[in-house]
Amino acid sequence: MEAERVLLRTARSEFEEQARRLITERCLIATDIDKTILIQGLGYDDEREQFLINIAPQLLQAASYGTNLALLTGNSMDELSSRFLKGLIDHLCHTNRLTLLKNFHFFCNSGGIYAHFPDPEKLIEGGSPRDLDLRTKVFEAMTVSNDGKLAIRPSFIDADYIGRSMISSEDAARIKGVLEEAAQLYLSNLNRNEAAYRELYDLRKVSKGETFIGPSVDVRPVQYGSDGGLNQASVQVTLKPILSFYHAHDVKTLVGRDLRADLINTIQSQLDERGLRQYVARAGGRSSIDVTLEKLDKAYALEFLIDRLNLQGNPHLGQRFGSNAIYFGDEVIAGAGNDYPITRIPGLLVFAVNPDKELVPLLSHVFVPSAILEGPDATAEVLADFNKCAFRLLKNYVSRCEKGEKPQQTKTALESLKMEIFASRIAEKILKLKDADRHSIEDWQTLHAFVTLMCRKDPAARQWLNILINELDAIMIQLATSSGPAQPALGTSHPDHKWS
């Protein structure tokens, strides 16, 4: 009898492993950090409490199903370590699930640094005093303090990746000089035209008392490699604080036309003139300008990870490169937000949890999940729905296997999530169309043509639909970056925070 129970447990484990390979391990959930999964500005204790209550359980639940998770931030390694990583380790240790850390992938400094912890169990092996608690031991094994700032230990930094994104020390010094000159011009302009700028911006954001805070340059050197052969590199040179549209009294009026945009143009011109054309100046966070290699942004980082994990979509199944991933960001703003480059990855569904929903571009693969919720609250809702899809699919698959039935063709948890979102939204929209008198027969005929093409099985029909959607996205990108009024994004008209 005991042998039969062991055999049954082994069979169930095999079924579960097979189910995960098909349903969740082919999925990647990627997200920004500040104002997307952390409520920035609350103070560390309050920010940590909200993360542990709202987001951390959903992230760990997804990881426990075998889902891959990526955190992409433009912030420094110190910000990543002291705020997000510390809170994550607290929760992993508190719930005795440290092994799930291997499912997490971390990018910082404009996506130029990639860190991963493939063997979490080794983090608690020796090296720390025995009287320290587990969380402290693990965190000390992962990080090191340099001049009061936390950094991920060099051995966990991917050397090959940083080799692709690093700035030479000579170029870093020259870029620093360009930024310091730009900072002086900016500060002089700010002092000279203070009264005019006070009408447009909340100047308290860049002031200390009656004095403006002078922007400073941060080269952010990073150590990587083993203890026997440490190297140092920079992947990003940052200038902050700089006034941006986020500090405006009316945010919408200054998107793409703020002081930061003007300064970026000035910096880029200087970089080009001084033989540094391979570098680009971009808006960083809410008050910074980052200079990196032209290719480097969050999209570059996410494409690297998709490729590294072999999670590319299968073209023979009609899937595009990013079909097995989703992304959450609070700065999905055409021409201004550091999450916007993510939208160029084909097949990737982007959830825009922006507080300013009217700034989200209208694109077929960008979706506003809630007309009410924003930031971490909106992210948590979608993560919870993903976990429900994953649990249901895994349970059904294993149950059928245990009954000796052959499971039907199984969707991944992300495919199921997307289907639930869009199928319910389409049904809701159709019902609204039937009750609206403003739609002509020609409108219904157009809709019929689209639906008919979707129902046809021939490859040509699918190709025609892709061409139409790609053309529509190209048009909307042009409109979003022009001076005309922005079109409401998908999801902004929904009356509540659910899609059903």
Confidence of residue 128 (pLDDT cuts 50, 70, 90): very low
Which tens digit of pLDDT belongs to each residue from 278-330?
Answer: 999 999 888 999 999 999 999 999 999 999 999 998 888 778 899 999 999 99
Q: Is the pLDDT at 10 greater than 80, yes or no?
A: no
pLDDT of residue 435: 66
Checking if the pLDDT of 499 tops 50, the result is no
Range of lowest pLDDT (78-92, 132-146, 209-223): 132-146
pLDDT computed for residue 442 by the predictor: 80
What pLDDT sits at residue 152? Answer: 95
What percentage of the chain has pLDDT greater than the value 70?
90
**Structure confidence at residue 11 as a pLDDT band (50, 70, 90):** low
**pLDDT for the residue numbered 253:** 83
Confidence (pLDDT) at 56? 94
pLDDT at 500 over 50: no
Separation of alpha carbons 147 and 472, rounded Å: 51
Q: Under a CB-based contact definition with an 8 Å cutoff, are residues 416 and 46 in contact?
A: no
> Which tens digits make up the pLDDT trace of 231-244?
999 999 999 999 99
Residue 75 has what pLDDT? 87
When comparing pLDDT for 26 and 474, which is higher?
26
Q: What is the 3-state secondary structure (H, E, C) of the chain?
A: CHHHHHHHHHHHHHHHHHHHHHHCCCCEEEECCECCCECCCCCHHHHHHHHHHHHHHHHHHHHHCCCEEEEECCCCHHHHHHHHHHHHHHHHHHCCCHHHHHHEEEEECCCCEEEECCCHHHHHCCCCCCCCCHHHHHHHHHEEEECCEEEECHHHECHHHHHHHCECHHHHHHHHHHHHHHHHHHHHHHHHCHHHHHHHECHHHHEECCEECCCEEECCCEEECCCCCCEEEECCEEEECCCCHHHECCHHHHCCCCHHHHHHHHHHHHHHHCCCCCEEEEECCCCCEEEEECCCCHHHHHHHHHHHCCCCCCHHHCCCCCCCEEEEECCCCCCCCCCHHHHHCCCCEEEECCCCHHHCCCCCCEECCCCCCCHHHHHHHHHHHHHHHHHHHHHHHHHHHHCCCCCCCCCCHHHHHHHHHHHHHHHHHHHHHHCCCCCCHHHHHHHHHHHHHHHCCCHHHHHHHHHHHHHHHHHHHHHHCCCCCCCCCECCCCCCCCCC
CB neighbourhood size of 258 (10 A): 23
pTM as predicted: 0.89
- More confident site: 443 or 4: 443
> In sequence order, what are the beta bridge partners of 289?
239, 283
Q: What is the mean pLDDT of residues 389-401?
A: 92
In this predicted structure, what is the pLDDT of residue 488? Answer: 65
pLDDT per residue as tens digits for the range 418-458: 999 988 888 887 877 776 667 777 877 878 887 888 788 77
Average pLDDT, the chain: 87
CA 338 to CA 32: how far, in whole Å? Answer: 10
Q: What is the pLDDT of residue 487?
A: 63
Confidence of residue 492 (pLDDT cuts 50, 70, 90): low
Say what the pLDDT of residue 21 is: 93
Residue 437: other Cβ atoms inside 10 A: 5
pLDDT at 1 > cutoff 60: no
Indicate whether 349 pLDDT > 70: yes
- For 177-226, write each residue's pLDDT tens digit: 999 999 999 999 999 999 999 999 999 888 888 889 999 999 989 999 87
% of residues, the chain, pLDDT over 90: 56
Q: Tell me the mean pLDDT in the region 130-150.
A: 82
Q: What does the pLDDT read at residue 4?
A: 45
Are the beta carbons of 213 and 206 closer than 8 angstroms? yes
